[in-house]
Amino acid sequence: MEFEIFIPIIIMMMGLGIIGGFLAGLLGIGGGLITVPGLYFCLSKLGYDNDVIMHVAIGSSLAMIIFTGTSSALAHYKKKSVDLKIFKIWSIGIILGTILGSYISASLEGSDLKNVFASITLLIACYMFFFKKKEGALEKELKNYIGVILGVIIGGISAIMGIGGALVAVPLMRFKGVQMQRAVGTASSMGVVIAVFGTLSYIINGMNVDNLPPYSIGYVNIVAVLLVASMSMIFAKLGAKASHLINPNILHYIFSGFILLVSIYMFS
């Protein structure tokens, strides 16, 4: 690739990492809901093939979570806020669901995949607007096979959306009665499993695809992963500090409104 063509990619990816990282820290939102539409926007403006850029955005987002999610998962593990029993059982389903979701994603046209992403995002926004988190959920003992099924659902949705799974996993664990901090810690560990198997699946599914952006391995773009992930990890800390200056209730609706705008953009 000629250097003058490479410069805009560097600028846009670093800019996305800065904005996405700050918003992720500010809103407490999984990076995938920011990086996927952000990567889609950047790649489309750079003129790459519309049939593949949504797949590349999702695959690259999952690869970023390997970097951004591992440090978080380790920190939660050191604080003993990971429920290893739930993690081990649900991860069986998560692996199966992630591989299945990646296969489904690869079989969809770019426009259809974009609409699926937008639809799920819209459902999340509606949930956030109209339902508030309930504390003190009753403890519910689930059979192991139910945990595996829930894992398949978490992995499947996450692989199709390019997210770490916390948006799906945390509410399910809260329903089971898992304490919030422990649910978040366990979900962060699940996110690494999703990221690893999702990344491998998107690489394999995209290996023989034409018209991919330069420096892509399957549906994973190495330039995007390195630049966006590195900037995100730096600016997420600033966003997290800024979040403490805003009323939590206001932050909740900013979060919901942001997801709604993402959904509207992806439908357009």
pLDDT along the chain (268 residues), means of 10: 64 85 71 86 89 95 87 81 91 96 94 91 79 51 85 94 84 78 84 95 94 93 91 81 75 78 86
Burial state string for 186-203 with b = 16 or more CB within 10 A and e = fewer than 16: bbbbbbbbbbbbbbbbbb
| Residue 143 CA: distances (Å) to CA of 86, 126, 148 | 11, 30, 9
Q: What is the pLDDT of residue 136?
A: 46
pLDDT value for 108: 93
pLDDT of residue 2: 46
Can you spell out the DSSP letters for 196-214? HHHHHHHHHHTTT-SSPPT
Which token pair is 220?
A: 């994973």
pLDDT tens track for 142-151 = 788 898 999 9
Q: Which of 236, 188, 241, 159 is nearest to 71 (CA)?
A: 188
Reduced to 3 states (helix: H, G, I; strand: E, B; else coil), residue 58 is helix
Indicate the length of the chain as a whole number.
Answer: 268
Fill in the amino acid letter for 105.
S
Within 10 Å of residue 131's Cβ, how many Cβ atoms? 9
Burial 142-162 (b: 16+ CB within 10 A, else e): beeeebbbbbbbbbbbbbbbb
Alpha-carbon span 95 to 100, nearest angstrom: 9
Q: How many CA atoms lie within 13 A of 122 on its CB side?
A: 12
* pTM score, whole prediction: 0.87
Average pLDDT over all residues of the chain = 84
SS3 241: helix
Check if the beta carbon of residue 115 is closer than 8 Å to that of residue 267.
yes
The pLDDT value recorded for residue 138 is 43
Helix residue ranges per DSSP H, the chain: 3-27, 32-45, 50-78, 84-107, 110-130, 144-161, 166-176, 180-205, 222-243, 248-267
Which residue type, as a one-letter code, is found at position 48? Y
Token pair listed for 78: 């050191």
CA–CA dist 31, 87 (Å, integer): 21
Q: Tokens 């357009």 appear where?
A: 268
Contact by Cβ (8 Å): 74, 192: no
